[in-house]
């Protein structure tokens, strides 16, 4: 369905905010309903358009957080000097309306019908498109082995924490590895440093298993993770990356 949808012109659709929930003090998930949304694949993003009363418009791109079969949602991190993200995180309310256009992107996508295993590496809000893949895997009852290595500053900054814990507790082949780079709570059993080659060697499957790899986060995070995977033998072309710059 999404494949056919991108063949035609992507038009702006009115999207009602049908729910808004804080994920962390800086991050919020907006559940959206757009009547003519054509569907999406896990990992794709959409464009948001906001219009002020005088006609001024601002545009940004956000990863879609939900599985293809689920309702549409985006998860947005507030950038303090941003133009759009503070509005989406702090001001927008249930019942408000924005405009969206999408889905966009045919590369950083994963479908549960593809072979595994699946290696996901996310930094901060870079976990969002990876979560769409994790939710898609869970929702389709897939038994493809999947691992998420997820780097956050503190425990408080971990997005989707409860849901990730619950999915990992199912022991259906999904494994969760956290690293907290800034501070770790007492008794923390996960990693407590920035991602590095040694961590990747411990978490990643051997390159010979030919995992599908998706890495998303800041430029520095993605470069470190991607370079580390290449250093432990991964083919550069097997590592799909999405980097985000702080653009508000």
Partner 1 sequence: MGIVSRGFKGRRSEGPPDRVPPGQHLTDDFPVLSAGPTPHTPLEDWTFTIEGGAEPLSWSWDEFQELPSETITADIHCVTRWSKLDTVWEGVSVDTLLDRVEHEGSYLLAFCDGGYTTNLPLEHVTDGKAWVAYGYNGQPLDPEHGGPARLLVPHLYFWKSAKWVRGFALRDEDEPGFWESNGYHLLGDPWQEQRYWGD
Query: At its nearest, how many Å lie between partner 1 and the CB of residue 187?
Result: 35
Our CB check for partner 1 shows the closer of 61 and 184 to be 61
Our CB check for partner 1 shows the closer of 107 and 208 to be 107
Are 3 and 103 in contact by the 8 Å Cβ rule? The answer is no
State the residues that interact with partner 1 by CB under 8 A: 6-10, 12, 14, 47, 49-53, 55-61, 83, 87, 91-93, 96-99, 104-108, 219, 223, 226-227, 229-230, 236-237, 239-241, 243-248
CA gap 126, 212 in Å, rounded? 17
Query: At its nearest, how many Å lie between partner 1 and the CB of residue 173?
Result: 26
φ, ψ for residue 130, nearest 5 deg? -70, -35
Query: At its nearest, how many Å lie between partner 1 and the CB of residue 141?
Result: 28
- Which has the closest alpha carbon to 17: 27, 31, 28, 29? 31
Query: At its nearest, how many Å lie between partner 1 and the CB of residue 109?
Result: 9
Exposure string of 229-244, with b = 16+ CB inside 10 Å and e = fewer, is beeeebeeeebbbbbb
- Which has the closest alpha carbon to 123: 164, 152, 86, 158? 152
Our CB check for partner 1 shows the closer of 79 and 155 to be 79
């Amino acid at each position: 369905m999404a494949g056919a949808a991108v063949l035609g012109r992507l038009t702006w659709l009115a999207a009602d905010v049908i729910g808004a929930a804080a994920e962390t003090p800086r991050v919020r998930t907006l559940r959206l309903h757009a009547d003519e949304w054509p569907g999406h694949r896990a990992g794709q993003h959409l464009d948001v358009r906001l219009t002020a009363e005088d006609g001024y418009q601002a545009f940004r791109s956000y990863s879609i957080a939900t599985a293809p079969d689920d309702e549409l949602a985006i998860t947005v991190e507030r950038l303090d000097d941003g133009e759009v993200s503070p509005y989406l995180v702090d001001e927008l309310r249930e019942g408000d309306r924005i405009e969206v256009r999408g889905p966009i992107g045919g590369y950083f996508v994963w479908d549960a019908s593809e072979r595994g295993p699946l290696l996901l590496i996310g930094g901060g809000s870079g976990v969002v498109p990876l979560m769409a893949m994790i939710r898609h895997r869970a929702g389709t009852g897939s038994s493809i082995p999947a691992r998420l290595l997820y780097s956050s500053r503190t425990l408080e900054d971990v997005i989707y924490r409860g849901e990730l814990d619950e999915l990992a507790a199912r022991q259906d082949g999904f494994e969760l590895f956290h690293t907290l780079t800034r501070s770790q709570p007492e008794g923390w059993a996960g990693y407590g440093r920035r991602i590095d080659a040694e961590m990747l060697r411990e978490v990643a499957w051997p390159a010979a298993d030919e995992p599908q790899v998706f890495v998303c986060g800041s430029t520095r995070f993605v470069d470190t993770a991607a370079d580390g995977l290449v250093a432990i033998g991964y083919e550069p072309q097997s590592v799909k990356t999405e980097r985000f710059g702080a653009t508000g």
